[in-house]
Homo-oligomer: A and B are copies of this chain.
Amino acid sequence: MSKKTIIVFSGDYDRMMAAFIIANGAAAMDDEVTMFFTFWGLAALRKENPGISDKPKSGLQKMFAGMLPKGPEKLSLSKFNFAGAGRSMMKKVMRAENVMTVSELLATAQEQGIKLIACTMSMDVLGIGKEQLIDGIEYAGVATYLAEADEGNVNLFI
């Protein structure tokens, strides 16, 4: 039993799959796992219907918040996305091959007790308030990440 940390910077559907598959695999082997969601990666923690946030203080933040995908199944593939068609097709293949979607991987991560942390600095920059994010997560900055990573034997940036 050891500890793993993953910084989830990318908001790509495929990279998010990789992050959660590694995290869930490690948790299944009784490792302690911390995932730190920053920048575009925050999109995976958004509610599907986040409503109007009180958070954005400026029109620019509203714009960024508006562009950021709402929840895991709205993320784009890093390649061959074709305005979402590529992602839909990949999800069809995944279902046929019994590969979990990112939503399912996220639910499993929460069930397994993986610590999900939203980066508060990124939330400020992108105009994302806590009420826009799913329940059961923590909020912290880089100092917390570093303290976790110091204890990790595998620390990835995805």
Contacts and interface: CB of A to CB of B under 8 A. Distances in A.
Given A29-B146, A150-B153, A38 B61 contact: no
A14 interface: yes
The number of times this chain is found in the oligomer is 3
A57 B94 CA distance: 12
Interface string A130-158: 00000000000011011001101111111
Nearest to A149: B154
A14 B57 CA distance: 21
Interface band, chain A? 35 or more
A154 B158 contact: no
A96 interface: yes
Contact of A154 (B57, B125, B150): B150
A101 to B, nearest CB: 12
Nearest to A157: B156
A122 to B, nearest CB: 9
